Structure 1
Amino acid sequence: MKTSVFAIDVGYGNTKYAHRAASGTIATGMFPSLAPLAASHALSGYGDSVLAARKVATIVIEQIEYEVGPDVSLTAAYGKTGRALSNDFVLSDNYAALLFGAIHFAGVTQIERLVLGLPVHNMKKYSGALRDRFTGTFDYGPGRISIDKVVVIPQPLGSLVAASANRQSEFGRESAHLVIDVGYFTTDWVYANGFTMDDKRSDGIPGGASQIYQRIAALISRDQDEQVEDIELIDKALRERKPFFFYGNDIDLAPYLEQSQPVIAGVVKEMQNNVGQLTNARSIILSGGGGALYAPSIRKAFPRVTLEVIDSPCTANAKGFLIVGEAGLTRERATAKA
């Protein structure tokens, strides 16, 4: 299938993608950003359907097979789930496997414009490398894919565009908004007047949802006198508002989340020092999978500014990337005809 614009938000926590469906609506998908090495043999799917086949794909990068997809295992021996948490994540083979996995699950084979995002503080350092690596024709295992052009934008701009899609009058040139994207490994923010980013008041730092999960794991380890490494399951339990199951016990995570608030407050203080008091901001737009964890501290830091938690925060960036890509392609085509 050919598509004019395809958007992928390869996050540290989840990989999200968006493209324009035949009906004209935006189609989205998401799966965990886990890329463990593929098993040498698989038992799922055998036994007359007793063991159900998982929805995963084997992606080949530099002759190494990685397993990615919605049903990739959230647990592994000694915590080795295939997640990469580092500033140079976008240069890793794990990143490439997740990116091609998104394209595979969408059923796309030709992309005129691929739109990707980067944390604000990594834009200058890695945007060129992403454009160079993913422009061209590739054979990643399940099939071949051609990508004509790669566009890289700051991640929070995707949420800004998604939030403004049906409310253009609220995002004029004189309207200032702070967009905060709480990801798995980083927290990024963009201060923008309309769609013009203020570079001095836009930044990002390592310190997203994963540091909360790691803090909670450390506290449970202390109380249980046993090492806790399944932070993916802590993430899942918090999102689903369920207890964390550990050695036969259901552990209520609410007290541990409360004990982790100083960690969140530290990140919010860094952001507050950068953006100031926000006396001219019309709203704070909160996005990202970790947004709900950070919302109380952000409200406390900016009590007089309207806080809006964006709809479907996990896929907001990907939807915004798609809209940005479509607008850019339309401008290019109009210029070519002139």
Structure 2
Amino acid sequence: MGLFPERLYQTARIEQVQHTTVFMSKTPPTFRALDLGFGFTKFSKGHYLQDGSLEVSAFPSYAAAAVNFSIGAGVMTDLSIVKVSVDDEHFLVGEDVRNAADGVGRQMLESTFFTSSQYIALARGAMGFMNVPNHGEVDSLVMGLPLNIFRDQSIVDHVEAAMKGTHLVPDITKNSGVERTILVKNVSIIPQVVGSLVAMSRDAGLMQKVNEQHNLTIDVGYGTLLWLVSDGFTPVPARSNGNMGGVSSLLQKIIRSIDPSAVSSINIMDRLDKALLEDKASILINGAEVEVAKYHRQLASAARENLTEMIRSIGTKADIDNVFLTGGGAHLYKDAIAAVFPGRQVHIASKGSRFTNVRGFQFLAETED
């Protein structure tokens, strides 16, 4: 498998796709997209509609151990979580998983995440929420890996083998504890950032322009900072890469300077993440109000530091015609990126940029040959 599978990037050259297809069988094929990152598990819940809309959803990429836990017990009844099994291990995943986790739980932010039982548990949890038809078959699942992880063919092969085939997933349409079987017939794995390039250029009506120029797509995820240089929709691998400069690295630096003992707390990380996204004045740490604005300069410095490797990797900036910035942490990097590329418009994904990859993956799934 190359950096960008030929079959997929050829479909991205299509400027406009009509989402009406005449099917020869009574059962139309089912396509889904899954963007399972360090911070959040994002996925599609159907196909693109005629108006161009796509139903998507997400929950934190944290799988809590389901030890002696009953979803129907006490105050946990109203939590949006489901129980998922992977071999003989049992996990809780879902929107409210942080409230079901113990106080020492943490998110995995290493490459081992992609070969872990937790990764499979999160994927199966997502499948349970994907609105897969009653026949229980997904004809094609398009998903991504961080560009730096995608370079490791052994991980790509492992994920593909783990995702393809039969999965026992929670049936969210029935009482808690009920499961259903879903068969994933085909899995296509591409670099995560490719989904953003496809979705953003399509949204902006720039697919033809992008196809004829050099482009830089930057995806700021929770764990990773990824960048893709492409000649049209053809990647330039030598100038594309990623590092662990995502949102979590910025949050950890700030929290470490406030209270080193809180740096591994997923709840404190979540508080600061939301405060920066929503421009809140302060957060509580150890019962004390901490003024967020005091750390903006440190945040900007950390962002510039993380960009140093990207700037060195892409080399000359003179031939970069279009810059796309996306991901859940795009707002934390927009000023630093604008400073690196003065005089050029930086296309920033609109609100909901967390789902840009998913929208690109779904587009590619529906336009597969």
Task: Using structure 2 for the length normalisation, give the TM-score.
Answer: 0.81
5+ residue gaps, structure 2: 1-26, 171-178
Q: Does 2:95 correspond to 1:70?
A: yes
Post-superposition shift, 1:75? 8.2
Pair 1:38-2:77 in alignment: no
Q: Count residues in correspondence.
A: 322
Query: 1:251 & 1:245 partners in 2: Cα distance?
Result: 6
The answer to whether the aligner puts 1:91 opposite 2:129 as a matched pair is no
Alpha-carbon distance in structure 2 between the residues aligned to 1:77 and 1:19: 30
Aligned ranges for residues 17-32 of structure 1 at < 5 Å?
A: 17-21=43-47, 23-24=49-50, 25-32=53-60
Which residue identity lines up with residue 148 of structure 1 in the other structure? K
Q: Which residue of 2 aligns with 1:219?
A: 257
Alpha-carbon deviations, 1:138-185, whole Å to 9, x = none? 224532110001100011110011012241455343222110001111
Structure-2 change in CA distance of 1:22 and 1:121 (3 Å):
closer
Contact 2:141 2:187 in 1 (8 A): yes
Check whether the contact 1:281–1:305 (CA below 8 A) recurs between aligned residues: no
Q: Which of these residues, 215, 224, 228, is aligned with residue 186 of structure 1? A: 224
Query: Displacement, 1:233?
Result: 2.3
* Structure 1 residue aligned with 2:182: 145
Confirm or deny that 1:10 pairs with 2:36.
Answer: yes
Mapped contact 1:74–1:232 kept (Cα < 8 A) = no
Contact (CA 8 Å) 1:177, 1:193: kept in 2 or not?
A: yes
Residue type of the partner of 1:34? Y
Of 270, 274, 278, the residue aligned with 2:317 is: 278
Q: 1:237 to 1:75 in 2, by over 3 A?
A: farther
Structure 1 residue 120: Cα displacement: 1.1
Name the counterpart of 2:330.
291
- Contact (CA 8 Å) 2:325, 2:348: kept in 1 or not? yes
Distance 2:74 2:262 in 1: 34
Structure 1 gaps, min length 5: 332-338
What secondary structure, in the 3-state scheme, does the structure 2 residue paired with 1:258 have? helix
**So what's the TM-score if we normalise by structure 1?**
0.88
Contact kept? 2:283, 2:291, Cα under 8 Å: yes
In the superposition, relative to structure 1, how do residues 159 and 199 fare at CA in structure 2: closer, same or farther (>3 Å)? same
Give the Cα–Cα distance (whole angstroms) in 1 for the partners of residues 102 and 63 of structure 2: 15
For residues 79 and 67 of structure 2, what CA distance do their matches in structure 1 show?
13
| Identity among equivalent pairs (%) | 29
Bigger mean CA offset, 246-255 vs 278-287? 246-255
Residue 127 and residue 43 in structure 1: after superposition, are their counterparts in 2 closer, same or farther (change >3 A)?
closer
What is the letter of the counterpart of residue 127 of structure 1? V
